[in-house]
Structure 1
Amino acid sequence: MEIKQLKYFLEVCKHKSFSKAAKEIYITQQGLSKAISNLEEEIQYPLFHNTTKGIKVTKYGEYLREKSEHIVYEFDSIIEEFNKMSHTNEGTLKVCFSFGVFNALSPEVISGFRETYPNVELIIKTYPDSICEEVVMNENVDLALSIGPVNEKNFYSTIVKKQWPCILVNEKNPLSKKKSVDFRDLKNEKLIILNEKFHFHHNFINKCRESGFEPNIFFTTSEVITVHKLSHLNEGTGVSIDFIANDIKYPNVYPIPFKDRSFVWEVCLITKKGRFESNLVELFKNYVLSC
C-alpha cells in the first residue's frame, strides 16, 4: 500500500466519481481505476461498488477513509517539514581540501562563505588527494575539493579550476634555455615531485610512460615547497604547478611549461555517489563555482 494509492482513494471518496477524481488529480480515468483495483487486490476487500446513482463507498472503504485521512495528513506534514529543513541555511558542513587547493582558489572562498552564511558552521580539513577521497567515501566529511582524475564509480565530480604543471629547472641545467618541454626531454633527468599520495604524482608518471620511458624519480615529498628548494639547490629537476611557481620564486630557477596541454592540474569538487546531499552541500558547491 502506497501513500499515492491512498490519496487517489480519498479523491474518489470525495468526488464519488472516478472521472471527476481523475480530472482533479491530473491522471487518466483508466490509470486511476487501475490504482484503486491494485489497492483492492492488495487488501483483498472491495472499496467501492456501483449503483444506479453512481459509485458508493463500501463499509471497508469507509473504514479505510477514516484511517487513511490521518495517515495522508501526517505524511504531507512530514514532507512539508522536510522542505522547510532543506531550505534552512544553518547547520554544520564538513569540507576537505587537498593540499595546495586553498592557494589555487580565491582566498575569499572560505571567509566569504562564512560571511554570507553565518549560521553554517564550516569545518575544514586538509589532506593529500587520496586521503580526501577516503574521508568522503567513509562519510567523515560532506564533500571535498581534491585533484583529478576522480573515480567516477564512487564519486560525483565537478571541475572547479584548471592549472598547468611545469618543471623547475636550475639555471645550470641546459633545459633552462627552453621555452617549453616535451616529456621526452625529461628522460635523463633526476626528478623531484610530490609523493604517491597525490594524483599529480601518478598523472606525471603515466605521461612519461606514454612517451616511452620510466621516469627517474629521485626524490618525493608531501610538501611542494621542498620540490622548489631542492630545485634551487640543483639537486634535480622539480615538477610543480604554474601558480605555485609564481608564488615561490628563486632567481636561479626557471619554471618551464609542458607542450602537452592535456597534462593539467584540475581542482574537482567531489561528493559520494548514493549519499543524500543536504542543501548546505549545494550552497557551498554553488558558492565555490561562482567565485
Structure 2
Amino acid sequence: MDIKQLKYFLQVCKHKSFSKAAKEIYITQQGLSKAINNLEEELQYPLFYNTSKGIRITKYGEYLQKQSEHIVQEFDLILEGLNKMDNINEGTLTVCFSFGVLNALSPDIISDFKEAYPKVQLIVKTYPDSICEEVVMNENVDLAVSIGPVNEKNFNSTVIKSQHPCILVNEKNSLCKKTAVDFSDLENENLIVLNEKFHFHRNFINKCKEAGFEPNIVFTTSEIIGIHKLSHFNKGIGVSVDFMARDINYPDVHPIPFKDESFVWEICLITKKDRFQSNLVKIFTKHMLNH
C-alpha cells in the first residue's frame, strides 16, 4: 500500500463513483479500478460494493477512510515543506571547471551568478578534464563544466559551447603559409599538445590515427599557454584552441584552423547520472545556458 493508492481510494470515497474520481485525478477509469482492486487484494478486505444506486463503502472501507485521511494530509504537508526548502535559493554549491574553460566563457559568468544569488555560497575549483569527472563521480562536487566527449554511462552532459581547435605554426615552418590544414599535413611534424589528463589529447590522437598515422608528440603540458610559448620558440607545432590563439598573440606564430569541422573543443556541463539534482544545481545550469 502506498500514498498514491490511498489518494485514489479517498477520491472514490469522496465521489462515490469510479468515473467521477478518475476524471478528478486524470487517469482512466480502468486504471483507477485496477489500483483499487490491487489495494483490496493487498489488504485482503473489500472496500466497496455495488448497489442499484451505485457503489457503497464497506465497513472496512469506512475504517480505512477514517484512518488514512490524516495520513494523506500529513504527507502533503511534508511534501509542501520539502518543496519550499528546495525552492529557497540559498546554500552551498560546489562547481569545478576544467582548466581553460573559464577563459572560453563570459568573464562575468561567475560574478553575475553571485550577484543574482547572494545567498548561495559558490565554491569554484579547477582541475584537468579527467579529475573533473572523477570528483563528480565521487560526489565531491555538485557538477562540473568540462570538455567532452563525456562517458554517457556515468554522466549526464549538456554542450554549452563549442570552440574550434587550431595549430600554432612558427613563421619558420612552411605550413605557416596554409589557410587551413588536414591532419595528414601533420604526419612528419613535431607536435606539442595538452597531456593525457585532458580529453583534447585523446581526441587529437584519434583524429591523427583516422588520418593514417601516429602523431609525433614531443612535448605535453597541462598549461595551454606553454604550448603557445614553445611554438614561439619553434620547438614544434602546437595544438591549441581558437579563443586562446586570439588571447595569446606571438607575432611570429600563426594560428591555422583545421579543415575537419568535426574536430571541436566542446564545453559540457556534467552531472552524475542517477544522482538527485538539487534546486541550486538546476539554477546554476540555467544560468550557464542563458550565458
State the alpha-carbon separation in 1 of the partners of residues 187 and 145 from structure 2: 32
Map residues 267-282 of structure 1 onto 2, 5 A cutoff: 267-282=267-282
Which amino acid in the other structure matches residue 218 of structure 1? V
Structure 2 residue 164 is the aligned partner of structure 1 residue 164: yes
Amino acid corresponding to residue 120 of structure 1 in structure 2: V
Corresponding residue number in structure 2 for 1:131: 131
Residue deviations 1:229-276 (CA, integer Å, cap 9, x gap)? 111111111111111111111121111111111111111111111111
Q: Which residue of 2 aligns with 1:74?
A: 74
Cα deviations by residue, 1:208-236 (Å, 9 ceiling, x for unpaired): 11111100000111111111111111111
Matched residue SS, 2:21: helix
1:10-51: CA deviations, max 9, x gaps? 223333444443444344444333322221111111223345
Specify the alignment match of 1:65 in structure 2: 65
Residue pairs, 1:168-207, within 5 angstroms = 168-207=168-207
In 1, the alpha carbon distance for the partners of 2:165 and 2:22 equals 62
Q: Partner amino acid for 1:290?
A: N
Alignment partner, residue 288 of structure 2: 288
RMSD of aligned Cα (Å)? 1.7
In 2, Cα distance between equivalents of 1:229 and 1:27: 66
**How far did residue 53 of structure 1 move?**
5.7
2:61 aligned partner, one-letter code? G
**Aligned equivalent of 1:119:** 119
1:170/1:280 Cα in 2 relative to 1: closer, same or farther (>3 Å)? same
Q: Percentage identity across aligned positions?
A: 76
Residue 82 of structure 1, CA deviation: 2.5
Say if 1:171 and 1:87 are closer, same or farther in 2 by CA, change over 3 A: same
Structure 2: gaps of 5 or more residues: none
Alignment of 1:204-223 (within 5 A): 204-223=204-223
Question: Can you list the C-alpha shifts for 1:141-196, whole angstroms capped at 9, x where unaligned?
Answer: 11111011111121111111111111111111111122221111111111111101
Q: State the alpha-carbon separation in 1 of the partners of residues 245 and 53 from structure 2.
A: 86
Between the aligned partners of 1:191 and 1:22, the Cα distance in structure 2 is 68
The residue number in structure 2 matching 1:96 is 96
Correspondence for 2:154 = 154
Q: Which moved more, 1:25-34 or 1:128-137?
A: 25-34
Hey, what's the Cα distance between the residues in 2 that align with 1:236 and 1:53? 91
Of 122-131 and 63-72, the range deviating more from structure 2: 63-72
User: Which runs of structure 2 are paired with 1:38-57 in the superposition (5 Å)?
Assistant: 38-50=38-50, 54-57=54-57
1:49-106 CA-to-partner distances (Å, cap 9, x unmatched) read 3456654433322321222112111111122123222322111111110000010000
- Aligned equivalents of 1:122, 1:10: Cα separation in 2: 45
**How does the TM-score come out when normalised to structure 1?**
0.94
CA distance in 2, matches of 1:289, 1:56: 55
1:105 corresponds in structure 2 to 105
Q: Name the SS for the 2:260 alignment partner.
A: coil
State the distance in 1 between where 2:30 and 2:288 align. 48
Match of 1:41, SS state, is helix
Task: Write the distance in 1 (CA, Å) between the matches of 2:24 and 2:160.
Answer: 46
Q: Which residue number corresponds to residue 35 of structure 1?
A: 35
Separation of aligned partners in 2, 1:280 and 1:122? 10
Q: Does the alignment pair 1:226 with 2:226? A: yes
Could you say what secondary structure the match of 1:245 adopts?
A: helix
Larger mean Cα displacement after TM superposition, 193-202 or 38-47: 38-47
Structure 1: runs of 5 or more not aligned? none
Q: Which amino acid aligns with 1:85?
A: M
